[in-house]
């Protein structure tokens, strides 16, 4: 009995999430729809992909607070390019370059200049969010090419393409 309690204590968040999922599935018929479950899975995948990179950072005794703002700024730049008629491939390459630029900046500041990772990434967190707001003037971006939703909603079997790539890297 003591062993079961210790396992349950270690997995409390997971068990709570499963219980909440079951509760919502029983209480709300809209929760059980294919569309909702697909969107939940897709949202979890984005966090999971970021988590893979963060695992490497944390295992080397580092910290990176700027991951989410790097994602937001990179996505905003890509969204702006696509809404202005640029191709999806160009937008993807620019988003990749922006994300790598943020990472390179953080890496140089921490590894070469021996700055504290917490301070550097806290600064780039603010920088990324500020640049995302400035780049769009705090307005929604719309008018994407017809191809972009197909890429996001693409499926490999029953699973979204993005989720399949996440499972591959795990």
Per-residue confidence (pLDDT) for residue 38, from 0 to 100: 79
The Cα 125–Cα 122 span in angstroms is 5
Q: pTM of the predicted model, to two decimals?
A: 0.74
- Residue 146 CB neighbours (<10 A): 7
More confident residue, 153 or 10: 10
Per-residue confidence (pLDDT) for residue 34, from 0 to 100: 84
pLDDT tens across 24-75, in order?
999 999 999 988 887 888 788 888 888 888 888 888 888 889 999 999 999 9
Mean of all residue pLDDT scores within the chain? 85
Domain boundaries along the sequence of the chain = 1-32, 34-169
Residue 107 burial class via C-beta count within 10 angstroms: exposed 0-12, middle 13-18, buried 19 and up:
middle
């Amino acid at each position: 009995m003591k062993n079961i309690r210790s396992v349950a204590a270690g997995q409390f968040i997971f068990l709570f999430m499963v219980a909440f999922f079951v509760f919502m599935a029983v209480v709300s018929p809209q929760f059980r729809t294919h569309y909702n479950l697909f969107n939940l899975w897709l949202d979890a995948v984005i966090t999971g992909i970021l988590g893979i990179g963060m695992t490497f950072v944390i295992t080397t005794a580092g910290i990176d607070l700027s991951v989410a703002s790097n994602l937001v700024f990179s996505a905003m730049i890509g969204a702006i390019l696509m809404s202005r008629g640029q191709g999806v491939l160009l937008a993807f390459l620019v988003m990749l370059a922006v994300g790598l630029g943020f990472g390179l900046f953080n890496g140089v500041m921490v590894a070469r200049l021996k700055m504290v990772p917490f301070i550097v990434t806290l600064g780039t967190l603010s920088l990324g969010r500020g640049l995302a707001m400035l780049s769009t003037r705090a307005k929604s971006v719309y008018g994407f090419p017809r191809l972009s939703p197909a890429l996001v909603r693409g499926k490999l079997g029953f699973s979204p393409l993005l989720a399949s790539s996440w499972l591959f890297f795990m």
